Amino acid sequence: MKPVHIDKIIPILKREIKQFHMPIVSEIALRNDPFRVLISCILSLRTKDDTTAKASFRLFKVADTPKKLAAVPVKRIETLIYPVGFYKTKAVRIRDISKQLLEHYNSKVPDTIDELLKFHGVGRKTANIVVTIGFKKHGVAVDTHVHRISNRLGYVKTKNPEQTEFALRAKLPRKYWLIYNDLLVTWGQNICKPISPLCSQCQIRDFCNRVGVGVSR
């Protein structure tokens, strides 16, 4: 297996993703509101970006703070966020999280992974995203795209996203931690797709070991 030159890959990805839309959670992060990042990230789990975007904007138009969202009935939240995946479960969770923030955190979203993990429904991916793009603090957010591409490149050899996170924490230069998720998510949504990736259009193919890739275009 050839070595993976991450310092050559990152600049290429930074240049190439400008032609694509950024992930919706990152777009929402431009408002510098960690609460919106947290809620939109929960909505995005197992949901397409376009659906997440529409659901987030509908919800935030009605309630965009922990105090406001905690006062919205669960059934109303369900209506606002439908058809995101598991919308009924998510409606309960985001209302409960809003109440917790209001009652125990003075409506302020915690800025540490350990504290965020105390909220039911918040896993390591969500916690890392809130920390990295919500607070601009160091963390390594790993979703299915980041896990898949990191392994396809041959940069890590892991079985699940959590293993990938800790492998990247040990190997990925810290200067890339804040941008790595956005780069690979955007690349994964548009080029390095789960099934039949567009290898013929991939500008980092010369650095990729294509681990596990059978059919490609």
Give the catalytic positions in this structure.
Answer: 125, 143
d(CA 138, CA 157): 22
Identify the sign of the CA torsion 107, 108, 109, 110: negative
Distance CA 122, CA 31 (A): 21
Residues contacting 159, CB < 8 A, separation 6+: none
User: What are the residue ranges of helices labelled H in the chain?
Assistant: 6-16, 24-29, 34-44, 49-62, 66-70, 74-81, 87-104, 113-116, 124-129, 135, 144-153, 161-171, 177-190
| Eight-class DSSP state of 196 | S
Rounded CA-CA distance 48/151 in Å is 22
